[in-house]
Structures are given as structure tokens and as C-alpha cells.
A and B are shown apart, each in its own frame.
Chain A
Amino acid sequence: MSNDNKFLYKLDKSAVLTAIGAFLLFFCAVVATLIAPQLVESSWVNPTSPYQQQMYEVADAHLYVSNQGTDDAKDLQLVYHLKQGFTLHAFTENELVRIVAPPDLERYITRFGESNLKLTSDLLLLRRPEKSDTFDAVASAENLKRGLQQSSGSGLKLDYQIYELYRPPGNEVFSVARTDGVIEDWVDEEYTILDPEVRQSWHADPGVVYVSNPVEYRVRNFMFGTDEAWEADSDGVPIASLEELQGPKYGFLSRKELVELGEDVYREEGCVYCHTDQTRTLIQDVVLNGSDSEPAPPSTASEYVYNRVSFPGTRRIGPDLSRVGVKRPSRDWHKAHFWSPKTESPGSIMPRFQHFFDDDPRGTSRSPVGVPNYRFEAIYQYLMTKGTRITAPTRAWWLGKDPVDTKAVIEGRVVPDGV
């Protein structure tokens, strides 16, 4: 007992002991609450799914976006950057779309009615049939069309669209992107990659993103008065290189750059002060963020691993954004909402973000809002990553395929893990 007292009196008089003691106690907390979780929680460093990983690490870098092709940015240009031995391509037929090919390329085509999808990272494209020295695609297409129309017994004369599969020169090419620029084509069942070996590590994942039926992207340059202008035109000229694509004339930005820029915009504009980015493990959150029939799964740490700055937030003056890519997927809705939130959402107190738009200098824009600039596209693409990349589209929670089965949890039919 007296020993304790002696130590306490010593402590009372010693600055050094006090400083050391305070530091040691602090350090214990650092170990337990900062360092230990890193070692124990794998979700803090691992992605949610191969889909999320491929989206951030592969697919984002090969989709390019530009709004400079039309006078009011109404027709956004979406272009894929395809690379030999990297991007995966599929050439599929359906009822009305058929493909003809020279004999050496036949094996790449997934014919109408085949269930197994054939993929390849060889660089191949589709085009309107042309006659070349080695292969007369025009005649081949004509024959195919006649054969199909004769054999269709219903008497309907269907208009078939026939493409030719060909190998372009060079190792990279730009193709027209026909996705919405947010969700990629994905396959995880019944597919084969026809490459002789695994060319990229992600090709060996349990599912892959791929590009479906790529057609070369071409532009037409013309003079608009004294200004140089351009627009997409399948009869035009291809874009020569990535430098030209990203240059000042065409102004394409990759989705990777846009998502990162979007995170910067989110940070600079202080969005976190009004919006949270977390669906909490509470019924009211999964209901608020869910669709009419499916609750949104609660946020997990893996959703944030690709963010440089994360904004789970401490205030919800405006609604939560962690599932906004599914709740508000429309680009037009976001244009109207950032231009004037009160008009798009009556009762909203959100300020206007009109610096995301350039005014149309001629004042004759067809757009009811200003012309969105790159800041708008950046914040839009960033917001669209929220809730859309948790699992692959084939296991999407908004289609009722939630792997965590949130609905069963909140209806009390199942007890979740970790509780």
C-alpha cells in the first residue's frame, strides 16, 4: 500500500513520468482501434467482387467520354479503347443480327441459339460487309440473307442486319460503345475465352467484363461557318491515336479520369457536409435507399477501397448517396437537378451548381439547362459508381439477387452474420 502511495507522489512531481504515461495510454488505443482492425478485417482492403475490381482496374480506363461532338453536348460520345491481348470481345448473333466471316475467323462467332459465349482478346471488329481480295463478304451476306428469308416460314419479311467480322491492322482501335457508360457487359456463366493462354490475370477471374459486337468509331470533320467542328459518322475517318482522342479537338476523357475528377469535385464542393455515403445497418436506411420491391444492402467497407478520400459523412441534410447510381441513374435527371435542385426536387434546399455548366454562347441551345461541362460529367460518373458496382449485374441487388438477402434480414426471417 505504501509503495503505491510513493509511486503516486512521484508521479505528481515528475513531468517525465506524466508525459510517458499519457503517451503509453494513447498508444494502446492506437494499436487497438487503428492498427488491429487493419490486420483483422479483410474487407478494409479487398474489393466487394471481381466485378468491382475489374470495373475500377480494367473497364474504367478503356471507356472514353466526350461531350464536344455536338453543339449542346446533347449526344454524349461514348467510345471503347480496344487493345490486342487485353480487352475481351464477343461477337454474338441474335434473331436479327447475323455475322459473316472468312473461314479462319468463323470460330470466334457465337451463333444464334448457342448458349456458350465465346470471348477473345484478339483484336477483331465488325463492319458492313466489304469485298476484299481474300474474302467476298458482300456476296456472303447476300446469300445468308436470301437463305434466312426463304427459310422463315411465318411469311414475315424480316430485315436482317448482317455484319462482317474482320481483323483490323494495328494493336489498338476505338469502337462505338453501346452501353449506357455506367454498367459494363459481364458474363460469369457458360463462357469460354478462346485465347491459347491466359493473357491477363483478370481473364482468369470467375467472371469477366467484355465488349460486345464492337464496330469502329469514326468521325467526320467539317466547317461550321468559320469554326472547325466534328461529329460521329460511320462513313468518316477513324481517330488515329489515343493522343488525338484525348487532345483538345475531340476532348475525350476516360471514365477512370472522370471518376477520379468526380471524387475531387465532391471533395471541393463539400458535398459530404450535407450528404452521407453509407447505407447503415438500419431498416430505415435500407428502405430509403431501396427500390419499390428490393431493399438496398447495407454498405460494407469493401465498397470504399478504391476511393482516395471516402465520405461516409456525419450529416444527412440531403439524402444518402451510397446507392444513387441505382436510385437516380438518369443523366438528364442529374443535369436538371444540379442546374436547379429546387425545381427538380420541390422542397430541396440544395444550392445550385451552375458552374458545372457552360452557358451556351449563342443562347440558342436546345438544352433547357446550361451545357454541361467536364465537371458535370465527372461528378455524374462518380455518383454512378455508388451502388452499381457492389456485385456483378448478374447478381444485382436491384434485380432481387442480393447475395446478402437484406430483405430476409429486415423481415426477420434470417439472422445476419456477425450479430
Chain B
Amino acid sequence: MKQYNDLPSKLMLYPAILFMVIGMLVGVYIAFNAFVIPDYFSGEYMHFGRVRPMHVHHVALLWLLSANIGLLYFVVPRLCGVPLWSSKMAYFSAGFWWAGLVPGVYAFPFGYTSGWEYAELAMWVGIWSPKLLFTVGWVLFVVNIFATIFSRKYQQMYVSLWYTMGTMIWTTFTVLLGFYGLDFLPGGISRVNAGFFYVHNLVGLVFTPMGVATSYYFIPKVSRLPLYSHRLSMVGFWSIAFVYPWVGAHHIIHGPVPQWLQTISIIFSVWLIIPVWAVVTNFFATLKGHWNKYSESVSIRFLMMGNVFYLLTTLQGSMQALRNVNEITSKTDWIPGHAHMALLGTFTYFAIGGIYHVIQVITGKPLWSKSLASWHFTLTLIGSMLFFMSLFVGGYLQGLQWASWASGASYLEFQRALATLPYLDTVADVWVWWLIRGIGGVFLLFAALLFAINVFNTIVLKASDESNTPEPTAA
């Protein structure tokens, strides 16, 4: 049984879990203070505009991206049959990573932001550069992973390794463009278009391949069942490599960009069903005939439910790119519903599923409490359903209300419709859905705490459940 150095994984995973809890706490704060009891805590540093990027960067970068990196540090050496190319480089990478991200994210309430959505990390906070440090940390990770793959023992590459290589390239170019490249373009829509190219690649060519790469490893590994089809996984990989980067402009459909660019983004957005379908089918078919594993293993439960959300998210995404659907759903609460179903419902579930397996291997101990893990899953699922459903319904209804201003034949009739239903009335009508969303968020936060406690106890306590004396972690 080969021994791998898992300290790089730990250096990324352990802080990531802590930041997941903090990020969800910030999320619950803004769900209530911005929407349910608006501006209860009032002030320059407390309002939604300053605090929202803090929530987003906690859950997207400090939790999800970091957790995926930790999982890749685990998965890639094992798939290559060789240890990680340089452990020391991994330690430095983690150092730069946290040193850049943490100050950068905690500077948001003080106005240190670039202003571009999901690329808000500031270039300078005083003499400290969050962006540059983060970039160095990322590049060291890329070099390490590529070197490991190029020096691998098993020649034929498992699908996880293609997705990993893909994301090394895609993330690097996406980050270079979104973090540094925008200022080199002419001002105005040129930058906006590049900004949306960045935003969508973040989801589709960064989080997606990382999540899919790790799940392709964990589903067969934890269930001890062979992957359904290697060939299908090839289809999935190459189709995503082709289709994904063209969809950026779907964030600005009906907006100030030319129709041909919008149409390209819509066509490719619909084609996205192909790569996702390949992955979803592969995952479901692997478990076929062995669904008892779903109830036996919390890992499998999270991975499979993530798979369900993955399918739902992409079907939904492809539909909401169509011009007439977009007219109703765009700019409403439907959009954060979709975003959370992707990053939380799909990729966070995938990552948690992986972590429940990994934590046992890297600590050398069984999970501290299987029942707590089951509670984690159930409460997370309840919270997720409340969260997503309330936003989809509330957002859709609001979109329909806005569309009521377009009913009629003359400008006079349109204005009359607007006079009957002023804008602020449509805002008031969403309040109840925001309340349900906030309650869903509380469930999610509480469940995340159970997860953190479970992982913490697995790390620090002795293997046996009856023992009371904590022992130092086996490295």
C-alpha cells in the first residue's frame, strides 16, 4: 500500500472547511440584514454592497476553490502512481494562497475592490498585493500538478487527469484575463464582454472541471464499482473543452451587445447539455444496480445528490439562455438561485462527498460520527431546497410582473400598466420568498457546523469512539 504525503491536502482542506462556515455565516447575515430586515445593522462597512463580495469570495475562493485544490493534491498523485512532484512547492503555494486571499477578502468592507464581478480582489491593499500573491500561489500549484502528470507511472490517463490538465490551463488564462487583462482593453463594453467571459469560465472551466475531476475519482473509489464508460468520459471532456468558452455573452442577453454575439452564446449554452449529460449519465450508470450504497455511504449520498443538481442546473441554464425565457428570469432572484444551485448544490456537494472519504485516509481514522454526517446531509438538503425553490419561484413571479409592463399595444397602455404596478411594489412582493431563502440559509449554516465539528473531531480524537483523550493528528 503506497504511502503518499498528504500534508499539502491538509493545508488546503482544513482552512477551507473553516471558511465554508464563516462564508455561510456572512451569507445568512446578508440574507437577513439586506433583505428580510433591511438595513437593521446600518453603516458604511455593514451594508450589502460592501459585504456581498465577502460572502462570495469566502464560499467561492476560500472554500470551494481551496477545497478542490486540496482534493486534487490527494487525487492526482494516486492516479499517476507517483508522489506529488514537489511537496515543498505545495507548502509555498499554500502559503502564498492564504496570505493573498485572506487579507484581500477581509479588505472588501473597507472599499478595496476592483469592481468587476467575481474578480473584485484588489491589486493593492496598502503595500500588500492580494492579487499577485494569489496568482503566485496558483501558478506554483499548476507547475506542481503538470510536473506530476508528466512524470506519471501509468501511461493511459484516467479521465480525472484530463479535466485536471484542462482546468490548469483554463483557470490560468481565465484568471490572467479577469484579474489583469481588462485594463488593456478599450473602456466600455469591450471590458464588460471580457468580464463576462471571465465570469462564465470561472463556473464552467474552473469549478466544473475541478469538481468533475474529483468526482470521477471518488464515485468509483468510494462505491468500489468500476466507472460505467471511459469512452463516454472522453466525449464529455472534449465537448466541454469546445463548448464552454463561447457562452460568456449570455449574461448580457437583450443588453448593449450585438445580436450575433448573443446568438452564439445562446447556441453554445444549449449545447452545454451534451458534456453535462455525458458526466451525469456516467455517474448514475456507475451506481446502477447498487443503489443500496446511497443509503450506506454519506460520501455517495453527497456525490449523487450533487449529480442530480448538476443535471438540473444545466437544463435550467440552457433554458434560461433562450431569449424569451431570459426576458423573464434575467436580473431577478432566479439568477442567485441558479448560481447557488451550481456552486452549492453541485460543486459543494461534490467536494463534501470527496472530503468525507479523504478525511478518513489522510488522518488514518474512521469518521468520528456517521450519524452526524447523515444529519449534515439531510439538513443541507432541506436548506438547499428551501433556498433554491424560494428564489426560483420569487424570481420568476417578479419577472412576470415586470413583463406585465409590456402588455398592450401603445405606449399609453404600457405606462398605464406601470402606473398600476410601480417598481417598488414588485420589490415588496418578493419579501416572503426572501424570508424562506433566509431560513434555508440557516439550515445550511447549522448543517455546515455539524460538518466542521465532525471533521475536527475526526482529526483530533483517537480512533475509538469510546476514548476521551484527544491525540495529536497522525501526519
Interface on A for B, CB 8 Å cutoff? Answer: 8, 12-13, 15-16, 18-19, 21-23, 25-26, 29-30, 32-34, 37-38, 40-41, 43-45, 266-274, 276, 278, 280-285, 287-288, 290, 292-295, 298-319, 342, 345-355, 407, 410-412, 418-419
Looking at the complex, which one of A267, A287, A300, A355 makes contact with B418 (CB distance below 8 Å)?
A287
B residues near A26, Cβ cutoff 8 Å:
169-170, 173, 205, 241, 245
Indicate which residue in A16, A294, A303, A351 contacts B38 across the interface (CB closer than 8 Å): A351
For residue A267, which residues in chain B have a CB less than 8 angstroms away from its CB?
Answer: 113-115
Chain A, Cβ-Cβ closest to B418: A287
- A-B contacts, 22 of them at CB < 8 A, read A15-B146, A18-B157, A19-B169, A25-B241, A30-B245, A37-B261, A45-B188, A268-B113, A270-B52, A270-B113, A273-B49, A287-B417, A288-B402, A288-B418, A292-B415, A304-B189, A312-B192, A316-B332, A347-B424, A352-B39, A352-B42, A355-B43
B471 within 8 A of A: no
Give B205 Cβ to nearest chain A Cβ, in Å: 8
Q: Contact between B157 and A12 (Cβ–Cβ < 8 Å)? A: yes
Q: Which of A33, A283, A351 contacts B47 (CB 8 A)?
A: A351
| Nearest neighbor of A19 in chain B, beta-carbon distance | B165
Contact: A315 with B191, CB < 8 Å? Answer: no
Query: How many residues does chain B have at the interface if contact means C-beta atoms less than 8 Å apart?
Result: 90
**A315-B331, A316-B331 in contact; A18/B414 too (CB < 8 A)?**
no
- Tell me if B255 and A299 are in contact (CB < 8 A): yes
CA distance in complex: A97, B353 (Å): 81
Q: A18-B165, A348-B424, A355-B44 are in contact. Are A301 and B149 (CB under 8 A)?
A: no
Known: A270-B49, A273-B52, A305-B189. 9 other contacts (CB 8 A): A22-B169, A32-B264, A33-B249, A267-B113, A272-B115, A283-B405, A295-B414, A314-B117, A347-B428
A18 engages B162 (CB within 8 Å): yes
Residues of A within 8 A of B48 (CB): 270, 273-274, 351
Q: How far is the CA of A352 from the CA of B460 in the complex (A)?
A: 46
- In this complex, the member of B50, B238, B245 whose beta carbon has the largest number of chain A beta carbons within 10 angstroms is B245
Q: Tell me, rounded to whole Å, the shortest Cβ–Cβ distance linking B388 to chain A.
A: 17
Given contacts A26-B169, A272-B117, contact A45 B191 (CB under 8 A): no
B114 proximity list for chain A (CB < 8 A): 267, 309
B50 to A, closest residue via Cβ: A270
Indicate if the CB atoms of B149 and A21 lie closer than 8 Å: no
Q: Is the CB of A15 within 8 A of B403?
A: no
| Alpha-carbon distance between A169 and B446 when the two chains are bound, in angstroms | 75
A409 to B240, CA, bound (A): 39
A270:B53 contact, CB within 8 angstroms: yes
Q: Which residue of B lies closest to A11 (CB)?
A: B234
- Given contact pairs A33-B249, A351-B34, A351-B47, A346 touches B257 in the complex (Cβ within 8 A): no
B470 at the interface (CB under 8 A from A): no
Chain B residues with Cβ below 8 Å from A41 are 189, 258
Nearest chain B CB to A328 CB, angstrom units: 12
Q: Which residues of B contact A319 (CB under 8 A)?
A: 423
Selected from B46, B190, B254, B406, the residue in CB contact (under 8 A) with A287 is: B406
Q: How far is A86 from B176 in the complex, measured between Cα atoms in Å? A: 42
Q: Are A21 and B238 within 8 A (Cβ)?
A: yes
**Which residue of A is nearest B80, CB measured?**
A15
Is the CB–CB distance between B170 and A22 below 8 Å? Answer: yes
* Given A34-B197, A271-B49; A303-B256 close (CB under 8 Å): yes
Inside 8 A of B152's CB, which chain A residues have their CB?
A: 15
- Contact, CB under 8 Å: A312 / B256: yes
**Closest B residue, CB atoms, query A41:** B258
Contacts A15-B161, A281-B254, A299-B255 given; indicate if A21 touches B405 (C-beta within 8 A). no
- Report Cα–Cα, A300/B192, bound state, in Å: 13
Q: Which of A15, A315, A355, A407 has the most CB of B within 10 A?
A: A15
Does the CB pair A15–B150 fall under 8 Å? yes
Known contacts A25-B241, A280-B254: A301-B188 contact under CB 8 Å:
yes
How far apart sit A65 and B157, CA to CA, in the bound complex (Å)? 66
Q: Which residues of the partner chain A approach B410 to less than 8 Å between Cβ atoms?
A: 411
CA distance A34 to B265 in the complex (A): 12
Smallest beta-carbon distance A62→chain B, Å: 22
Given A12-B234, A310-B188 in contact, is the A22-B166 Cβ separation under 8 Å? yes
Q: Does B81 contact A (CB under 8 A)?
A: no
Nearest CB in chain B to that of A346: its residue: B424
Within 185-244 of B, Cβ neighbours of A (below 8 Å) are at 185-194, 197, 205, 234, 238, 241-242, 244
For A290, what are the chain B residues with a Cβ–Cβ distance below 8 Å?
411, 415
Cα A269 to Cα B43 with chains together (Å): 11
Name the one of A272, A288, A310, A348 contacting B187, with C-beta atoms under 8 angstroms. Answer: A310
B336 in the interface (beta carbon within 8 A): yes
Closest CB of chain A to B268's CB: distance in Å? 8
Residue on A nearest B331 in the bound complex, by CB: A316
**How far apart are the CA atoms of A418 and B114 in the complex, in Å?**
34
Assess the A418–B190 pair: CB atoms within 8 A: no
A298 lies within 8 A of B256 (CB): yes
Return the contact of A33 from the options B38, B188, B246, B402 (Cβ within 8 A). B246
Sort A-B residue pairs by CB-CB distance and give the 8 closest, nearest first.
A270-B49, A29-B245, A267-B115, A283-B406, A304-B188, A349-B38, A268-B111, A351-B47
- Say yes or no for B347: interface residue by CB 8 A criterion: no
Residues of chain B lying within 8 A (CB to CB) of residue A25: 238, 241-242, 245
Q: How far is the CA of A310 from the CA of B403 in the complex (A)?
A: 26
Contacts of B127 in A (CB 8 A): none
**Shortest distance from the beta carbon of B305 to any chain A beta carbon, whole Å:** 27
**Nearest opposing residue in chain A for B258, CB measure:** A41
Residue of B at shortest CB range from A311?
B115
Per-position contact with A for B141-185: 1 when CB-CB < 8 Å, else 0?
000001001101001110001100110111001000000000001
| A299 and B336 form a contact (CB under 8 A) | no
Q: A346-B424, A351-B47 are in contact. Are A15 and B169 (CB under 8 A)?
A: no
Q: Decide: B414 and A283 in contact? CB cutoff 8 A.
A: yes
Chain B residues lying within 8 Å of A348, measured Cβ to Cβ, are 424, 427
Q: How far is the CB of B339 from chain A (nearest CB, A)?
A: 9
| Nearest CB in chain B to that of A291: its residue | B415
Would B411 and A410 count as touching, CB distance under 8 A? Answer: yes
> Which residues of chain A are near B242, meaning CB under 8 Å?
25
Interface flag for B140 (CB, 8 Å): no
| Chain B residues with CB below 8 A from A419, complex form | 259
B252 CB-CB contact with A under 8 Å:
yes
CA distance A397 to B162 in the complex (A): 54
In the complex, the answer to whether A33 meets B193 with C-beta atoms within 8 Å is yes
Q: Which residues of A contact B190 (CB under 8 A)?
A: 37-38, 44-45
Residues of A within 8 A of B254 (CB): 280-282, 285
The reply on B251 being an interface residue by CB < 8 A is yes
A5, chain B: closest CB distance, angstroms: 11
> Distance in Å from the Cβ of B97 to the closest Cβ of chain A?
23
Q: Which residues of chain B in 114-128 are interfacial with respect to chain A, using CB atoms and an 8 Å cutoff?
A: 114-117
Q: How far is the CB of A413 from chain B (nearest CB, A)?
A: 10
- Chain A residue with Cβ nearest B422: A347
Out of B35, B161, B241, which one reaches A21, CB within 8 Å? B241
- B248 in the interface (beta carbon within 8 A): yes
Given known pairs A13-B155, A269-B50, A306-B187, the reply for A287 and B411 (CB within 8 Å) is yes
Given that A12-B234, A270-B50 are known contacts, is A305 also in contact with B265, CB under 8 Å in the complex? Answer: no
A310 touches B411 (CB 8 A): no
Chain A residues with Cβ under 8 A from B330's Cβ?
A: 314
Q: Which residues of A contact B241 (CB under 8 A)?
A: 21-22, 25-26
**Complex CA–CA separation, A304 to B414 (angstroms):** 28
B409 within 8 A of A: yes
**Which residues of chain B are near A354, meaning CB under 8 Å?**
42
Q: Which of B87-138 contact A (CB under 8 A)?
A: 111, 113-117
A353 to B194, CA, bound (A): 31
Cα A290 to Cα B188 with chains together (Å):
23
Q: Is B327 an interface residue (CB 8 A)?
A: yes
CA separation between A16 and B162, bound complex, in Å?
A: 10
Known contacts A15-B161, A21-B238, A346-B424: A300-B256 contact under CB 8 Å: yes
